[in-house]
């Protein structure tokens, strides 16, 4: 299968690209910074801003599926990365006749998501980090989902919980709408997307993904994902 990956040079995108190539897929890595991607068999690099309809149209021609792992940082300002890229990508897919789309969103997009037994997260971290500091980001994720829902594509929203780095794929868990857990390893997120491309268990719905075998250190996670990245 020939797969277009938007956000291929991001932290999740790198895992996704590596795993897809290892599984024998061809990958078109769509990025604004091509110099950070090494040349490998099966890998083609397309330079494009994911919100530019013309550039996106040129990048995805000849692919069988599109996987978006685009990300944005928390900001007090309005964020439009997710919704603008969804508009450009879905329009280009319609013109090329490409039907399969997987787009990373968040468990926060499910209004009923509350991890079982996670009292501190549900009552302290989630209201502060996700609902306040990440408010504009998650608002745009919801706009992205709305844009994609209006299409006739075979879409899947992929909703991880708190993302962290882990060196290998674990025995992760998926569920419709969202999964009952606080954390998701990026390796597991990438693996779940590739599996869903082939198995098509969550077409035109959302797939929650959580990691249960390992848990990150909370202080380290906040430092790496929040403070250090800034």
What confidence tens digit (pLDDT) does each residue in 53-108 have?
999 999 999 999 999 999 988 788 999 999 999 999 999 999 999 999 999 999 99
Predicted pLDDT at 230: 47
Query: From the centroid of its chain, how far is CA 17?
Result: 13
pLDDT for res 35: 80
Q: 132 vs 108, 125, 182, CA distance in Å?
A: 12, 10, 17
Rounded to whole angstroms, the Cα distance separating 230 from 47 reads: 25
Tokens of 1: 């299968």
Q: Considering only CA atoms, which of 27, 1, 11 is closest in space to residue 100?
A: 1
Enter the pTM of the model: 0.92
Residue 128's pLDDT band, with cuts at 50, 70 and 90, is low
What proportions of the chain, in percent to the nearest 5, are helix, strand and coil? 40, 20, 35
pLDDT above 60 (res 226): no
Ramachandran assignment for 97, one of left (phi > 0), alpha (psi -120 to 50 degrees), beta (any other): left
Q: Are 6 and 70 in contact (CB under 8 A)?
A: yes
Residue 125 has pLDDT above 90, yes or no: no
**Cα–Cα distance, 33 to 118 (Å, whole number):** 38
Domain spans, the chain: 2-227
Q: How far apart are CA 94 and CA 191, in angstroms?
A: 26
Give the model confidence (pLDDT) of 5-36 as tens digits.
999 999 999 999 999 999 999 999 999 988 87
pLDDT at 197: 98
Q: Report the chain's mean pLDDT, rounded to a whole number.
A: 91
Q: DSSP for 75-142?
A: -SS---HHHHHHHHHHHHHHHHT--EEEEE--GGGSTT---TT-HHIIIIIIIIIIIIITHHHHHHHH
Percent of the chain whose predicted confidence (pLDDT) is above 90:
77
Q: Which fold has domain 2-227?
A: Rossmann fold (3.40.50)
Query: Which residues contact residue 51 at a Cβ distance below 8 angstroms, ignoring those fewer than 6 apart?
Result: 80, 81, 84, 85, 87, 88
What pLDDT does 71 receive? 92
Nearest to 88 by CA among 69, 60, 116: 60
Find, among 51, 152, 58, 39, the residue nearest to 96 by Cα: 58
């Amino acid at each position: 299968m020939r797969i277009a990956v938007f956000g291929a040079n991001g932290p999740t995108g790198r895992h996704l690209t590596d795993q897809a190539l290892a599984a024998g897929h061809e990958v078109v890595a769509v990025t604004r910074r091509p110099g950070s991607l090494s040349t490998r068999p099966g890998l083609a690099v397309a330079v494009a801003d994911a919100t530019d309809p013309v550039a996106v149209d040129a990048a995805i021609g000849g692919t069988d599926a599109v996987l978006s792992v685009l990300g944005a940082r928390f900001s007090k300002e309005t964020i439009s990365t997710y919704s603008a890229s969804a508009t450009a990508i879905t329009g280009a897919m319609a013109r090329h006749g490409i039907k399969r789309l997987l787009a990373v969103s968040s468990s926060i997009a499910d209004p009923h998501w509350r991890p079982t037994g996670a009292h501190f997260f549900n009552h302290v971290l989630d209201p502060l980090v996700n609902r306040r500091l990440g408010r504009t980001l998650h608002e745009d994720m919801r706009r992205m989902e709305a844009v994609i829902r209006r299409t006739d594509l075979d879409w899947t929203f992929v909703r991880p919980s708190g993302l962290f780095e882990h060196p290998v794929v674990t025995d992760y868990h998926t569920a419709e709408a969202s999964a009952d857990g606080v954390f998701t390893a990026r390796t597991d997120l990438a693996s779940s997307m590739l599996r869903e491309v082939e198995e098509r268990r969550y077409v035109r719905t959302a797939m929650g993904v959580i990691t249960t075998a390992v848990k990150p250190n909370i202080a380290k996670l906040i430092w790496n994902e929040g403070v250090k990245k800034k």
